[in-house]
Structure 1
Amino acid sequence: MNFPPLARRAFLLAALVFVLDQAIKLWALFVFELADKGRVAVLPVFDLVLIWNRGVSYGMLQQDGDLGRWLLVALHVVASIGIAVWIARERQTVSAYGLALILGGAVGNGVDRVAYGAVVDYALLHWGEVTWYVFNLADAAIVAGVGLLLYGAVRGSKGAREVV
């Protein structure tokens, strides 16, 4: 299939997000062995800690059984296909890149569910004892992608021109 230049760049960005996400997770699990270390302080406001997220965003809808796991995998597949089709049709640069971030993150988290039965989360932001949820690069990419999509929607037709 011959995709327009914008779609090709967006798919390349999605692939980059996916590869970086998986590389960090593999490093955390098998090289750094984060599971054996517990909570590791990196910066005054950032720690590494391993959490197996069997749910969706913010740990909601936790799925302990195989049925729930595979339903979430199916949701990842359907959503990823839909986002890929949307990218192929998108003409607004900022929206295409936002979708690419979402796609790369969704595929990264989906691979975790297939490989491990849960998503590998490892990044903890905190201010003293006040903590935010534990997340990963894929989650951050998804949030940034949604932000770009919202920006593109607000920007409207002014951003519709493709930059080649």
Structure 2
Amino acid sequence: MTPARLGLAALVATLILDQAAKLWLYLGTDLVLTQPWRYGAYADFVVVWNRGVSYGLFQQEGGLGRWLLVALSLAAAVGLSAWMVRTRSRVLGLALGLIAGGALGNAIDRAAYGAVFDFVHLHVGAWSWYVFNVADAAIVAGVVGLVLDSVRPERRSDLSGEPPPL
């Protein structure tokens, strides 16, 4: 599979899994009324509407901010997809597809509901991680992939113009 096709598959899978999980949890269950759903001592499913970006930063209450975030997400997804189509690295193609798919999933939420539906809450004792969704997890995995791709020895030698090691 080419890097572009792998990235496109990751984008589509992320988008479908993200939207399916959100729609099922919000419309197909009683999570809204019976939250939190506890899964062991470290994880809950809850309903959180995030009107901002990561970690709830830059909360947007008005329509202008909402649509600016939608436009920013769509522009990022287009730019990442253009990069994904040109890459020769499967790791980079996969990473870019995950990030673009996550950006599109969250953009759909913002456009449809005015906020992103987050539902997974991880915690240990008094420590609490932010509440996230499938799209957010895919974006984080994609960023890890970008970092891994950037430090691969083959990648560094490609950038320096030196031949790869034997």
Per the normalisation by structure 1, the TM-score is: 0.91
Alpha-carbon distance between aligned partners in 2 of 1:106 and 1:140, rounded to the nearest angstrom = 11
Give the number of equivalent residue pairs: 158
* Structure 1: stretches of 5+ with no match in the other structure: none
Q: State the partner residue of 1:67.
A: 64
Alpha-carbon distance between aligned partners in 1 of 2:157 and 2:89, rounded to the nearest angstrom = 4
Q: State the partner residue of 2:32.
A: 35
Q: State the partner residue of 1:116.
A: 113
Alpha-carbon distance between aligned partners in 1 of 2:31 and 2:153, rounded to the nearest angstrom = 44
Larger Rg: 2
Alpha-carbon distance between aligned partners in 2 of 1:160 and 1:42, rounded to the nearest angstrom = 46
Per-residue CA deviation, residues 87-116 of structure 1 (Å, 9 max, x unaligned), is 001111111111111011111001000111
Could you tell me how far 1:38 is from its partner in structure 2? Answer: 2.4
Letter in 2 for 1:98: A
Could you tell me how far 1:158 is from its partner in structure 2? Answer: 4.8
User: Is residue 2:35 matched to residue 1:23?
Assistant: no
Aligned residues with identical type, % of pairs: 47
Q: State the partner residue of 2:135.
A: 138
Partner of residue 46 from structure 1, selected from 43, 47, 57:
43
CA RMSD between the two structures: 1.7
Letter in 2 for 1:9: L
> Structure 1's 123 and 57: CA in aligned 2 closer, same or farther, altered over 3 A?
same
Letter in 2 for 1:29: Y
Could you tell me how far 1:37 is from its partner in structure 2? Answer: 1.5
* Structure 2: stretches of 5+ with no match in the other structure: 159-166
